Structure 1
Amino acid sequence: MAKPYMTRRALATARRQWSEVAWTVSAPELGFDAFARDERQFVELMVGDLQRMVVYAERGFQVPMPVPAAAWAAYEELVRLGYDRHVIK
C-alpha cells in the first residue's frame, strides 16, 4: 500500500531490491483533495518524487521506469517556477 503518487517509485525500488518477486503495488482510490490540503507542498512532493524516479534509477537504487517527455517537461517547468523544495540538489 502506498500513496497514489508514490506507487511507481515503490514498485521500481521493490523490483531492484527483490527482482525474483512478482510485485504488485496498490493505493487507496482517493481524490486529489485527500492529499492536497496544502497545494504547493503537494506539488513539491510530486516534483521531488518524479525526480527521484530518475535519479535513484541512475544510482542503482531502483529499476528505471519510463517517464513521458511531457511529464519531464512539466517537472522542469515546475522546478523553474520554484517548486523545488524536495528536489535533490
Structure 2
Amino acid sequence: MTYQDPISDADRADARVIWDFHQMGHELKPCSAAIALGSLDLGVATAAADLYHDGMFPKVVFTGDTSTATRARFPRGEATHYREHALCLGVPNEAILLEPKATNTGQNIGFSREVLENTGIAVSTLLLISMPYMQRRAYATCRKLWPEVEPVCVSQHMPYDEYVRTHDDEKQLIEMLMGDLDRVMDYPKRGFAVEQHVPGRVRDAFDRLRSRGYDTWLLPA
C-alpha cells in the first residue's frame, strides 16, 4: 500500500509502542569498554562523551563506515565523525579506538571485538551505545556474536515525541523503527541474532504500520 499523508495519531501511537519496545531498560553501570554503533544520529557520540565523563568506561570504539542512510551526513564515515564530535566534547584521544569498516550491526560488534582484543583490553561487560530504537537489535546481535560478555544497552534518554524533534523526517523515522523491529524478528532465523519475545501488541502495531505503507526499510519478502 502506498503511504498516505499526513501521519495520523493512530500511526504515532503505534510508532510509540514499537519505540518503547526497542528500549532494553538496562541498569547503567561501569563497563570494561564501550562500543558506539555507527548510525545517522550524532547523538550516539554525544551519549558516549557524556558516559565517558561519568566514568562508565575507559575506552570506546567508534565503529562504522557509511551507508545509504548516512553517506550524505557523514561522508568520511560514521566512526570518523563520531570521533571528531567526541573530541570536541572533551573525550581524550587516548580513550578512543576507531573501527571504520563496518557496514552493518554484526560487523559493528565483530570488528569492534577484534579492535578491543588486539588492543589487549579484557572485556567482561560491554556498554553498547546506540540510537534509542537500535538497542534491542544491538543486544540480540551482541549476545549471538560475543556471548562471553554482558552487554548493557544505553542511548540518549528521550521519549519518541522528543526524538522526533531531532529528526528531519518523521515518516523516515517510523520506517526505521519498523526496519529494526523486522530484523529483531527475522535475524534469529538467519543466525544473526538471539531470539527475543515480541509481545502481541508490538506485532499488531507493526502490522498496522506496514499496511499503511511504512515499509521502506523492511527486509525483502
Normalising by structure 2, what TM-score? 0.39
Structure 1 position 17, deviation (Å): 0.2
The structure-2 alpha-carbon separation of the partners of 1:55 and 1:41, relative to structure 1 and needing over 3 Å to count, comes to same
1:8 matches 2:136: yes
Structure 1 position 29, deviation (Å): 0.8
Partner of 2:102: none
Counterpart CA distance in 2 for 1:81 and 1:41 is: 13
Counterpart residue type for residue 21 of structure 1: V
Deviation per residue, 1:8-27 (Å, 9 max, x gap): 11000000001111111111
How high is the sequence identity, in percent, across the aligned residues? 37
Counterpart residue type for residue 40 of structure 1: K
Is 1:35–1:42's contact at 8 Å kept on the other side of the alignment? no
Q: Which structure has the higher relative contact order (CA within 8 Å, separation 6+)?
A: 1
Partner of 2:213: 82
Partner of 1:23: 151
Partner of 2:202: 71
Deviation per residue, 1:32-86 (Å, 9 max, x gap): 3553231111100001110000111111100011111110111011111100000
Greater share of strand residues, 1 or 2? Answer: 2
Is 1:15–1:63's contact at 8 Å kept on the other side of the alignment? yes
Name the SS of the counterpart of 2:150 in structure 1: coil
Structure 2, unpaired ranges of 5+: 1-128
Counterpart CA distance in 1 for 2:210 and 2:156 is: 28
Structure 1, unpaired ranges of 5+: none
Query: Matched residue pairs, number?
Result: 89
Counterpart CA distance in 2 for 1:14 and 1:25 is: 10
Q: Please identify, of 26-35 and 63-72, the stretch whose mean Cα deviation from structure 2 is larger.
A: 26-35
Normalising by structure 1, what TM-score? 0.92
Q: Please identify, of 24-33 and 3-12, the stretch whose mean Cα deviation from structure 2 is larger.
A: 24-33
1:62 matches 2:190: no
Counterpart CA distance in 2 for 1:52 and 1:22 is: 21
Counterpart residue type for residue 145 of structure 2: Q
Counterpart CA distance in 1 for 2:211 and 2:179 is: 13
Greater share of helix residues, 1 or 2? Answer: 1
Report the structure number with the largest CA radius of gyration. Answer: 2
